A = this chain, B = another copy of it.
Amino acid sequence: MGTDRTTVRREAHKQVEDQATLKAILARAIIAYVAISIDNQPFVLPVACAPFGDELLLHGSTASRLFKALASGLPACVNITLVDALVLARTSFDSSMQYHSLMALGTARVIPDREKLSALNALTEHLFPERAKELREPSSKEMKATSVLAFPLNEISIKVSNSYVHDAQSEPSTNIWAGVIPILSTYGEPIPSEDLKSGIEIPEYISLWPKNRI
C-alpha cells in the first residue's frame, strides 16, 4: 500500500505494512493532523477524525479555510501519531519513545449528501461511543454547517516503534536505571454541565470508552 513517496527510509524496520496495525491506530485516534500547502507554504491543523470503511473521516466547519482547501482537491497529508511510552536508555542518544505513527498522502473526497448522515453518525460513534443513540439526529441546518470529508488510506506509511532499551551495557553508566515508562490516557472526573437537571447520572456506557487515546 506504500508508494515511493511514503517509503520509510529512516529506520525502515519500524515500517509495518499491516492492516491490523492501521485499524488499531484508527481505533484510538480522535485527532488527525492535516497538512495542505498554499504557494509552497504548508499549513498543518488538528482535525477530529474517525475511521469510515477504508477511508478516514475528517470533520470541520464548512466555512473553514482548511476544509474549503481540502474540498477543492488540494493534495494533502494526514498524520496520526500515538505516543505509547518514553524509552529511558543509559545515554540521551539512545533514549527515545515508543509510538504508532501513520502518514497518508492523498486528496480528500467530499462526502455526498446521501452519505452525510451516516458519516456524521460514524464520527459521533467514534468520538463518543454509544452516545449517538441518546442524541437526536443532526438537523439539516447543522448538516449544512458541517463539512465532512473522506481521506483515502491507500498511499500510507505506518511506523511503529515498540523497542525496549537497546543501549550498550558497556556504558560507564550501568548504575543508571533504564527502562520504559508507558504513557496512558485516562479520563478524569466528569464535570457535569452547570445546567444539568438534578438526578441525571453519568451514563454507564461512558465507563466503557476506550482508554489510551490520542
* Interface residues of A, Cβ cutoff 8 Å to B: 5, 9-11, 30-31, 33-37, 40-46, 48, 61, 63-65, 75-79, 81, 83, 85-86, 88, 90-93, 95, 97, 99, 101, 103, 105, 120, 123-124, 127-128, 131-132, 134-136, 138-139, 142, 145-146, 164-165, 169, 171-197, 200-203, 206, 213-214
Contacts and interface: CB of A to CB of B under 8 A. Distances in A.
B44 A37 contact: no
Contact of A201 (B177, B183, B184): B177
B31 A42 contact: no
Nearest to A179: B192
13 contacts: A35-B77, A43-B103, A86-B128, A92-B131, A95-B124, A136-B173, A177-B196, A179-B190, A180-B190, A181-B187, A181-B191, A182-B191, A185-B186
Given A46-B101, A95-B124, A188 B194 contact: no
Given A136-B173, A176-B200, A188-B181, A44 B42 contact: yes
A86 B136 CA distance: 19
Contacts of A35: 35, 37, 42-44, 77
Contact of A79 (B45, B85, B123, B189): B45
A176 B119 CA distance: 23
